[in-house]
Structure 1
Amino acid sequence: MNQFLAGGILRNLLAGMVAVVMAVVMVPVTAQDQKAEALKMDRSKILSQPGVFGVFTTYKWLPEWYELPLSERMDYVSRVMELIKKHEDSVLVDVYLTAGLGGRSDFFFRIHSLELAKVQTFLREFRQTAIGKHVEVLDTLIGVTKPLNYITKERLPELYAGLASATYTGDVPRYAIVIPVKKSAEWWNLSFDQRLVEMKAHTLSTLGYMGSIKRKLYHSTGLDDADFITYFETSDLIAFNNLLTSLASIPENRYHVRWGDPITLGTILGPEKVVRVLAE
């Protein structure tokens, strides 16, 4: 065979092999990858976008935790903060202090991510830390954020405008409240228009409280035993009590088979401060 011809064949063969390898290694960037890169755990975006998973996990210290020396407990706190830092590009972690506000728990996590598996990885690694080995998991709730389903600009423009314009004007929130909700089969068998009527009454009863109470809804049907996780922040617990009383008195409440059980109330201090308070 001509030497130049053989050399050309070899070069073509090598080029083809390189192309195949590059095709295997260079995985196409998906729309989900682009979305993840765009949000990149930007707090304001993560907490306002649909399609974000929210996981709530509630913990109670095991008795042997308080038998450890204080210096050792404080060292373990720094390990948890390092873990939160390690995963900051994939999960957004908030920690709330519940000790003293209820007998069941001492603290809870609220974790957001575009991928539920990322939350699972963080929680698995947390359980491997010294603090994770000294707590009991009391409850876990899983949900995902979605766009408004009932009160939309097309269906109820005036109510939608009122909802969209309602802004929080209170002090920096001191308290967080988590309430899981499950609806009855009767609710899900209502027509959409019937449910829309109920949700219109629900929304009207809440509008007057939005200046003093922040709220966020997570959809849980099929992901958890609940159908919804309702999360609130406020510094005015009297207004919050009035809001819940108002919601309890509307017809929609007849379709609840679970409303709380438990209701989790905690203070908002920031992850490091909460963990340090608990370690003292």
Structure 2
Amino acid sequence: MSNPSETPGQRYFVQYTAFRSDPAWRRLPHGAREDGRESLASVIEEYAPDIATWAYSTLGLKVGCELLLWRRGTDPLAMQEMTARLLQSGLGAYLTIEHNLYGFTRPSNYTKRPTTQEQAIDLNDRQTYLTVYPFSKTTEWYLMSKEARQGMMNEHIRVGHEYADIRQVLLYSTGLDDQEFVVAYEMEDMPRFSELVTALRNTEARRYTLRDTPIITGIHRPLRESLALLG
């Protein structure tokens, strides 16, 4: 497959897919599980680099799922085909999609240019921890003037800049799924991220949050290491 453009500002189609494993998987013989994990890993590697995939273990962090795949591409059709093949692979036959958050990237309505925090989507190196959740605003938010919204977002952005070490990815999914946005943060310090969220919830814009759950947190590990944790 051809190498996709890595030009900053590239519009991507991105999915965060969380999987729950069937307990029957862990009761299979060791050799069968080895082959099954390798079968799934081979599918992921076959679609690279057109679809870049990063693996996270959510084991012990989110009830109901143990594996999160962050996938970045440009073609929803290819992403869907890849998902089908993952679920038909050896390990995939024992996985159920518990959460699937997706959307497209595009320039922000509230900033003139992406900050270094917001350029995480263009990077191929990942930080240790990832938190991702769906997000929607209230009807009242959209009925306000653009100037009023911009003023509140300026406060929101100012707080975010105080935590410059924490990366952010914002996806747009209005009209495509139940949520309007998907928000993801990468960090090396989980307590510091919790401080950022607390600070953001003290801003005026928080009044207009309709939904920001479920929250999924995972730890980035090499693909095969994340799969091995499933058993």
Give, in angstroms, the shift of residue 165 of structure 1.
8.9
By percentage of residues, which structure has more helix?
1
2:117 and 2:168 in contact (8 A); partners too: no
Residue among 130, 152, 165 paired with 1:198: 152
Aligned counterpart in structure 2 of residue 110 of structure 1, from 70, 77, 80: 70
CA RMSD, 1 decimal: 2.2
The aligned residue for residue 130 of structure 1 is: 90
Instruction: Assess if the C-alpha contact under 8 Å between 1:219 and 1:229 holds in 2.
Output: yes
- SS of 1:180's partner is strand
Q: Which runs of 4+ in 1 moved over 6 A?
A: 165-168
1:220 corresponds, among 164, 167, 173, to 173
User: How far apart are 1:167 and its partner, in Å?
Assistant: 9.5
Within 5 Å, give how 1:159-238 maps onto structure 2.
163=115, 173-211=127-165, 213-238=166-191
**Matched residue pairs, number?**
226
Q: Secondary structure of 1:222's partner?
A: coil
1:45-79 CA-to-partner distances (Å, cap 9, x unmatched) read 27x43410111111111121111012210111111
Question: 1: CA distance between counterparts of 2:18 and 2:4?
Answer: 22
User: Which of 226, 233, 239 is residue 192 of structure 2 equivalent to?
Assistant: 239
2:117–2:164 CA contact under 8 A, matched in 1 = no
| 2:55 match | 95
* CA displacement 1:90-146 (0-9 Å, x = unmatched): 211111100111222101111111111111010011111121110121111111111
Task: Calculate percent identity across the aligned residue pairs.
Answer: 24
When normalised by structure 2's length, the TM-score is: 0.90
Residue type at the aligned position of 1:124? A
Q: Give the match's secondary structure for 1:223.
A: coil
Amino acid paired to 2:226: V
Secondary structure of the 2:85 match is: helix
Aligned to 1:248: 201
Distance 1:150 1:206 in 2: 13
User: In the alignment, residue 106 of structure 1 is paired with which amino acid?
Assistant: E
Tell me, in whole angstroms, the C-alpha distance in 2 between the residues paired with 1:244 and 1:116: 31
SS at match of 2:89: coil
Aligned to 2:123: none
Q: CA offset at residue 166 of structure 1?
A: 9.4
Tell me if structure 2 keeps the 8 A contact 1:41–1:88: no
Structure 1 residue corresponding to 2:13, chosen from 23, 45, 53: 53
Query: How has the CA–CA distance of structure 1 residues 76 and 167 changed in structure 2, closer, same or farther, with 3 Å as cutoff?
Result: closer
Larger radius of gyration: 1
Q: Which ranges of structure 1 fall in alignment gaps of 5 or more residues?
A: 1-35, 154-159
Alpha-carbon offset, residue 188 of structure 1: 1.6
Structure 2 segments unaligned to the other structure (5+ residues)? 121-125
Counterparts of 1:274 and 1:165, CA distance in 2: 26
CA contact (8 A) 1:166 1:207 kept: no
Larger RCO of the pair (alpha carbons < 8 Å, separation 6+): 2
CA–CA separation in structure 1 for the residues paired with 2:36 and 2:23 = 16
Superposition deviation, residue 230 in structure 1: 1.0
